[in-house]
Amino acid sequence: MNEKQNKRLMHLIRRVHGLMENEDIQKQRTVQNQLGSIFANSKNYQFTPLKVNTMDAEWTNYIPKEQKTDNSRSMIFYCHGGGYMTGSSLYARELTTKLSRHTGLSVFCFDYRLAPEFPYPAAVEDALTAWSYILSCGYDAKDIIVAGDSAGGNLALVLTLLLREQHAKLPKSLVLFSPWTDMTSSGKSYHAKELVDPVLTNAYIQKAVSCYLGDTPADSPYVSPLFADLSGFPPVYIQAGTNEILLDDSHSLYKQLLTHNIYAKLDIFDGMWHVFQMSPIAKAEEAVQKAALFIK
């Protein structure tokens, strides 16, 4: 995709997200689910819905599975994004399908409770419940890759932090797409990249922070894992685009991981935007393929 085509696509994405931001949260959730059902509707995938307690969840499997893995017991535990206000396993199909296809692994995604109806720590509690469910299915923590985009990347980090504090076994690795790691919005990219990010605005981020945090301080490591002690974490792979507000969240997380002597890899994609991996473009396929190589 050349620069002109890239700008056109970014303009289209900006228009779609701009219209969605002007709708109430419930309408945003409905539109996202509709988009998920449209873009990821393929006979090449098997979607298996289930309930984890009262929580909706879904397994995604790529049926052909030409890509065979050495360890069939591995799986991907996926935390969807949406600013903790929107998103679902249905909307996340735009990424979970790509992950299953490129890795040959089953992907599990769960619908944690959303703000403002259910602020922090509801989503974290649901992530722990979903984790316990996966372990009850016979998976060992060392065979589980925890992945997530945006707020889901935040949740993946917080889940790992809590597991470590509980002296529980940690996942094999983390794969984070444009992770939201700093709810204080301290990075320079929050302002430097606002005009070029077609997906996020500072107004939307502040709305999400207000809805999710309640009385919780924005610099708490349980909502801003950038400020957590990350020692003992498993290997972490991070992707971000040069044209996204949260770019510094990824850069700063990467530096923090290295400071704590954690193996980490950061790939920055030129001209790409927030969670571009969900888009139906060649660069998204390239990015997910890189993530798959890290997972394998």
User: Which residues, 6+ apart, have CB-to-CB distance to 243 below 8 Å?
Assistant: 10, 193, 196, 197, 198, 271, 272, 273
Catalytic residue status for 136: no
CA 232 vs. chain centroid, Å, equals: 21
**Longest C-alpha distance within the chain, in Å?**
51
CA distance 54 to 50: 10
CA distance 144 to 192: 36
Q: Among 58, 89, 106, 244, which one carries the catalytic annotation?
A: 244
Catalytic residue status for 250: no
CA distance 179 to 224: 11
- What is each CA distance from 64 to 61, 67, 100, 103, in whole angstroms? 9, 8, 10, 12
The residue with tokens 């470590």 is 164
CA distance 107 to 146: 10
Which among 163, 173, 157, 161 has a CA at the least distance from the CA of 74? 173
Cβ atoms of 111 and 56 within 8 Å: the answer is yes
CA distance 233 to 157: 9
State residue 284 phi and psi, 5-degree precision.
Answer: -65, -40
- Residues for the chain: how many in total? 296
Q: Among 88, 150, 224, 279, which one carries the catalytic annotation?
A: 150
CA distance 133 to 205: 31
Residues forming the active site: 150, 244
